[in-house]
Chains A and B, each alone.
Chain A
Amino acid sequence: MTVDLRNHLLDLPRLTDRLTEWGEQVRIPEPLVRQLDLALEEIVTNVIAYAYSDDDEHVIRVDVGVTRGEITAVVEDDGVPFNPLERAAPDTTAGIEDREIGGLGIHIVRELMDRVRYDRVGNRNRLTITKLLEPA
């Protein structure tokens, strides 16, 4: 399944719709689809926020597939080189007063997914996430 998103938050609901439709077709349990949805939204939101130095319209490509007991999703953008995995994990133990706002997104992705990998391929950023399908 492939969706091309524009670099605007208002385009995100299209991702959710396509993912939900796809999940039903290939019979992925709804809770897993929601986790994937959340992880992809966090990644795409990150790309929109950090990958572009101009105000032009860009295409962010999301590919999702299921093979041999795992779901793999790839997010590709043509933005400036940016590896979100190099961002320090937020301090999730801090009290409410000391807590920095933001920076949580990629941490949630890491926690929800089984593997997360960043590659710079040519002039594109590629983030690959994998979720294992465990028996219920």
Chain B
Amino acid sequence: MDIDLSFDGGIPVLTLAGRFDGAGAVVFDQKTAAIDAESAQWVVDMSSVAYLSSLGIRSLVVLEKRLKARDGGLVLAGITPLVERVLDVSGLENVLRIAGTRARAVQMARAAVATAPTIEMAFGSIRATIRRSPPGESAIEWWAPDTVAGFERELLAVEVKDLGIAFGTGILGGPAAFEAPRPFVSTLQFAGMSGEDDVAISDFVVGDASQLMPVAVEAAWGVSGSSAAIVDLEGSPFGLLEALDDIFERGISPSPAALGFVVLAHTDGEPPGLFAVAIAFDPERTQTSLDPEKHLEGAAGQIPLPSGKRCIGSAVTLNVRPALERSSDMRSELRQDAALESLRAIVGLRACAQVTRARVWVFAPGKLRDGIDKLLTVNVEGDGEWRPEWDAIVRRLYHDCGSVTLTPLPGGFMSSTYKAVAYDHDGRRTLPSVVKIGPVALTRREQQANREYVSRFILNNGTSVLGDAQHGEWAGLRYNFLGVNGPESRLVWLYDQYLQRSTPEVLALIERLFTRVLKPWYAQPRWEQISLYRDHTPLRLFPSVIETGEQVLGISADTKEFVCAELGVTLPNPFWFLKHEYPKRAAESRLWYTAVSHGDLNLRNVLVDERDNLYVIDFSETHPRNAVSDFARLEPVLKFEMTRIETDDDVRSLVEFEQGLTSVSSLDEAPPFVYRGDDPLVSRAHAAITLLRRYADRATLFELDIVPYWVAMLEWTYAVVCYRQVTPRHKRYAACSAALICRSILQLERRVG
């Protein structure tokens, strides 16, 4: 490892290049031992170090300890991925200071050195020690629900880490029914919300987890950037607001229109400690400089200050006195106090007791901005449902991007799917990806299935989960498609391709789906005991099948027979079968092949790109089950969703078609094509179903018994009765289809019996 030493404004800067391993550590120890610098704040530029071993870490820690003894320390810059990982697992990310760039690291080191110049002043009876910081930028941020197309959103969904140091009204933990926004305070070390009334106990969260806490904001103000000065105040008990007014008057920056304050103080009474965030402003001056739109002037809860300026803010009472050590920075001071037993209650600034000692970090903001501007821009096309919490999920998923545009992909029962086009912070378009947002439990299940059954088996289809995020009751996944051609790739559902392309092309796509993408699942079946009727009951996903059959179709589940007028015959009543036969048979088990299967394979869970690459998504139901399940799931899709069902004649012709399909008694028998109608999609369905059954036969190593296929298919045939977006004719066809399947099952059982 090569080490170059230079000085930047008195700060020693070590530039390392090469491997920081055992040999590198020896060089590092020798070189650093020989450095004699006045400053105890050093910068280590690691941007050319791709490798850091435990011996390298040992050297960094030894040097950090040495500098710490002189109130100094290291600032690391340009951390590369593996180095970051190693620092992280070693627990050093929170011990050593780390800056994004070398320039920023030098700035941090200088700020730490700049304990001088120190100015002593007296504000009346208060002794003030003012330490100016090196110039840095800061801003005041306002947070409010935005107005979209004339509709005012009630609450803005963000996270504590977005807000940073802020105060306002909102709901910590995200929107919840029956809960009204309440005063809250957030920092990067803790956040808290006041109780339901003044007496109730405030809720706090602390530690790293608090940063990810969702907040539904009604209105909030924040301070970001670096402080311009640190002011220590000490004296006989004095009012905090008056002291802040004094700081404003005496001029920290030349002529501020507004100042932000973060305060830690010892009070005169109980509780003994206080944390406060405040913004003081001169309304006449802010209008012409910082705030022409008069956001500050309209801010709620303004308190007039003696000089005529105004102040907004909030405070947290503490059960402990903050340490206020001379050398510590705001982050480490706050971390010391951010313990649940130390934080007492959220209070207004007016309710603060008099203080005897205070440290005030003073921010001289150069601008006032909408907090949302610093976050990712999320555009949603179309006018489907969009919840404010989903903004926060998308921002988390695309934290590496500057903007993202989402186009809804239709379909999806419990969750919403979007095609996402995202641009990075430099405006470069990234590969197309897909976002799915749904209830937390469902999304977690999908993620788990992905880990268990997808990424380990079917890598080649290329869907990989690139990220996940949760906000309140919702969670989202970001999928990348590895095989996608490039940013111009077009992704459409297999559903569209099925309708638009020729039958041979459609069959080729289905063949590829099973023989290329999903084969690693089906080609490794296990032979084991399963319970068909328990595993395939439609009542799990559609508990109201029996009631709906009675209400919508007028078929009682308590008669054994079902009159099928379409065929002029009497069939077994499928609802009777479901109500009376399923429970009886639930305990029966038999040997049969099982394989990992998707569980909800339909034409809207498969995406096709312009090169006919197939991408399967939605694995929330994926697990090992009856090996023919996916094939038996697709058949009803083709019959009930992909054919024309507009007239009674259509229904009659389709029931005749169904009679043909159910007339076979073995899985290897090609079903006859019996159809007198004129819908060309029926012959396409027949060809595709013939193919599906051939694969089902192959997946079971050429077993002949078709009953497991019938039972699996019944699950999704009954389901049609409960579908919302279909007509009563669809439901009638499904009932007849279920009756024909039941007849076939009973006939086959009699034959065996």
Contacts and interface: CB of A to CB of B under 8 A. Distances in A.
Contacts of B91: 91-94
Interface residues of B, number: 32
Interface string B188-227: 0000000000000000000000000000000000000000
B61 A101 contact: yes
Contact of A96 (B21, B61, B456): B61
A38 B68 contact: no
Interface string B458-481: 010010100000000000000000
Contacts of B55: 45, 105
Contact of A112 (B50, B57, B89): B89
B76 to A, nearest CB: 13
B22 A12 contact: yes
Interface string A14-58: 001000000000000001001101100110010000000000000
Interface string B24-53: 000000000000000000000000001111
Nearest to B451: A134
B54 interface: yes
A96 B86 contact: no
Interface string A107-134: 1100110000000000000000000001
A97 interface: yes
B62 interface: yes
Contacts of B54: 42, 45, 102, 104-105, 107-108
B23 interface: yes
A38 B464 contact: no
A43 B95 CA distance: 25
A13 B51 CA distance: 13
Most buried by A among B51, B53, B65, B464: B53
A28 B517 CA distance: 24
Interface in B71-106: 81-82, 85-86, 89-92, 95
B463 to A, nearest CB: 9
B510 interface: no
The residue in A12, A90, A104 that gathers the most chain B C-beta atoms within 10 A of its C-beta is: A104
Contacts of A112: 85-86, 89
B81 A108 contact: no
Contact of A34 (B50, B61, B65): B50
Given A95-B95, A96-B68, A35 B455 contact: no
A9 interface: yes
Interface in B376-423: none
A92 B51 CA distance: 20
Contacts of B462: 135
A42 B232 CA distance: 48
Contacts of A99: 61, 95
A111 B87 CA distance: 11
Contact of B455 (A9, A96, A135): A135
Contacts, number: 83
B22 A96 contact: no
Contact of A42 (B50, B53, B81, B455): B53
Contact of B53 (A31, A41, A92, A136): A41
Nearest to B62: A101
Contacts of A111: 85, 89
Contacts of B53: 38, 41-42, 45, 105, 108
Nearest to B59: A101
B58 interface: yes
Contact of B22 (A35, A45, A90, A108): A45
B64 interface: yes
B464 A135 contact: yes
A35 B482 contact: no
Contacts of B85: 35, 111-112
A91 B91 CA distance: 8
B555 to A, nearest CB: 48
Contacts of A134: 455
B61 A35 contact: no
B188 to A, nearest CB: 18
B65 A104 contact: no
A31 B95 CA distance: 25
A23 to B, nearest CB: 14
Contacts of B95: 95-96, 99
A99 B61 CA distance: 8
Given A99-B95, A101-B61, A136-B482, A12 B82 contact: no
B51 A97 contact: no
A102 to B, nearest CB: 6
Given A9-B23, A34-B50, A135-B459, A92 B89 contact: yes
Contacts of A93: 91
B21 A41 contact: yes
B667 to A, nearest CB: 32
Given A38-B82, A135-B455, 13 more contacts: A10-B23, A12-B21, A34-B51, A42-B53, A45-B54, A92-B90, A92-B91, A97-B65, A97-B68, A99-B61, A101-B61, A104-B57, A111-B85
20 contacts: A9-B22, A12-B21, A12-B22, A12-B23, A38-B51, A38-B52, A38-B86, A41-B21, A42-B53, A42-B54, A45-B55, A69-B459, A101-B62, A107-B54, A107-B89, A108-B86, A108-B90, A112-B86, A134-B455, A136-B464
Interface of B: 19, 21-23, 50-55, 57-58, 61-62, 64-65, 68, 81-82, 85-86, 89-92, 95, 455-456, 459, 462, 464, 482
The 10 closest A-B pairs by CB, nearest first: A92-B91, A111-B89, A105-B54, A104-B54, A135-B464, A96-B95, A9-B22, A34-B82, A101-B58, A135-B459
